[in-house]
Every structure is written in structure tokens, then in C-alpha cells.
Amino acid sequence: MQKLSREAFERLQAEYDDLTTRGRIEIAQKIETARELGDLSENGDYHAAKEEQGKMEGRIIHLAKIIENSEIVELDANAERKVQPGCVVSIRYEGDTEVETYLLGSIEERRDGLTVMSPGSPLGQAMTGASVGDEVTFQAPSGPMKITVVDIDF
């Protein structure tokens, strides 16, 4: 079950609706126009349109699975401030002075200027439920690492 914000769910639903209606009509028109150009075996426009159709259908299938298997998560900014999917969390690695900020959630939650971290990643799992000031240790490929939660934004 994938957790999504209402905003991300509605954006994905709108993209799905657009691709299954307007998108399919447009690609069918491109394929038909390319067919009219003649021999399909040497028709670059036809092959490009078919490749575009395949990519679009792959995206439609992907979106359908996300929509079908997602749970809408409502963040409660008034609740106790703990790291949870959908929030923006700022962390500092032990021994480092730089603060890094991530959006904890699905790649489909992406926002401009923020790197998305999966809640299922080792760091995502470790810091879920942490509060500002908490130190969290997680297993990185290079060995155990420690971070401090600096800020949580809903």
C-alpha cells in the first residue's frame, strides 16, 4: 500500500484521466497519419509514434496500479510533530555541519527543489516517528550512520 497526500493522489488521477482520453486519441491520430505515409517497415514516423504509444501505455498501467493501491494520508500539522510520510524533514549527519532537507514519501509526491526519500529506505524507516532533536542511527551500505532531526515541516 503506497501512502500519498491528497494533492499527489488527485494529480496522478488527473494525469491518468488525461492519458486515457486525450493522450490515447492523440497517439492514435499520430499513428494513423504515419500509416498514410506508406511502407510501415521503413516509416520512422510510424515507429516513433508506436514507441511513444508504448511508453504512454506503460505510464497508464503504472498510474492505475498506484491509484488502485494507494492510501491517502492526511497530515495533521497540529498533531505531535513527528516524522511521517508526506512531511519535509531536515537532517544533519553526525560530524557534518550541513543540513539536508528531504520530502519523505513516494517519488510521485515530488516537489520542486526537494529530494524525495522513500519511507521504506533504511534512513526513511529509521527516522519515521522521530521528533525534532532526536538522534537516529540507520544502516547505510558503508555501515551504521547517525543523523539528527533538525526540523519537520508539514
33-87 pLDDT, tens digit each: 988 887 777 788 888 999 999 999 999 999 999 999 988 877 665 566 888 888 8
CATH code for the structural domain at 2-72: 1.10.287.180
CATH topology match: 2-72 vs 88-153: no
The top-level CATH class assigned to 88-153 is alpha beta
pLDDT category at 119 given cuts 50, 70, 90 is: confident
How high is the mean pLDDT of the chain? 89
Amino acid sitting at position 125: Q
CA distance 139 to 149: 16
Model pLDDT, residue 105:
85
CA distance 109 to 5: 7
Q: 9-13, 18-22, 35-39: which range is least confident on average?
A: 35-39
Residue spans per domain, the chain: 2-72, 88-153
- Residue spans of beta strands (DSSP E) within the chain: 2-4, 70-72, 88-93, 99-104, 115-117, 135-140, 143-153
